[in-house]
Amino acid sequence: MNYLTEYKEKLVLPKDAARLINSGDTIMYASFLGRPVDFDVELALRKDELKDVVIISCGGVQSFENQTSTVDKSHEHFVCSSWFLDAADRKLHDNYTMFYHPIQFSQLQDIISNDLFALDVHVQQVSPMNKYGYFSFGPANTYSLESSYKAKKVILEVNETVPFIPGGSEDSIHISQVDYIIEGSNTPLYSIPVNTNYSEKDKIMANSILEEIEDRACLQLGIGLLPNTLGILLCDSGLKDLGVHTEMYTDSMTKMFEVGVVTNKYKTIDRGKIAFSFALGTRENYDFMHLNPLMASHCGRYTNNPRIIGLNDKVVAINNILQIDLFSQVCSESFGTRQISGTGGQLDFVTGAMHSNGGKSFLCLSSTYEDKEGRLHSRIVPTLKEGSIVTAPRTAVEYIVTEYGKVRLRGESTWRRAELLISIAHPDFRDDLVKMAEDMRIWRRSNKL
Residues 6+ apart with CB under 8 A from 439: none
CB 297 within 8 A of CB 144: no
Q: 439: exposed, middle or buried (C-beta count within 10 Å: 0-12, 13-18, 19+)?
A: exposed
Q: State the Cα–Cα distance between residues 246 and 358, nearest whole angstrom.
A: 17
Residues 247 and 280 sit within 8 Å (Cβ to Cβ): no
**What is the amino acid identity at position 394?**
R
Three-class SS of 91-114? HHHHCCCCEECCCEHHHHHHHHHC
Reference 318, options 220, 249, 394; nearest CA is 220
CA distance 317 to 223: 11
**Contact, 259 vs 234, CB < 8 A?**
no
Q: Is 2 exposed, middle or buried (0-12, 13-18, 19+ CB in 10 A)?
A: exposed
Instruction: Quickly count: other Cβ atoms within 10 Å of residue 117's Cβ.
Output: 14
> Annotated active-site positions, please?
247
Query: Burial, 332: exposed, middle or buried (Cβ in 10 Å; 0-12, 13-18, 19+)?
Result: buried
Distance separating alpha carbons of residues 334 and 389, to the nearest angstrom: 6
CB 134 within 8 A of CB 158: no
Please tell me whether residue 274 adopts helix, strand or coil conformation. strand
Q: How far apart are CA 332 and CA 326, in angstroms?
A: 15
Neighbours of 199 (CB within 10 A): 13
Please report which helix (H) or strand (E) contains residue 392, including its range.
Answer: none
Beta bridge partners of 122: 28, 154
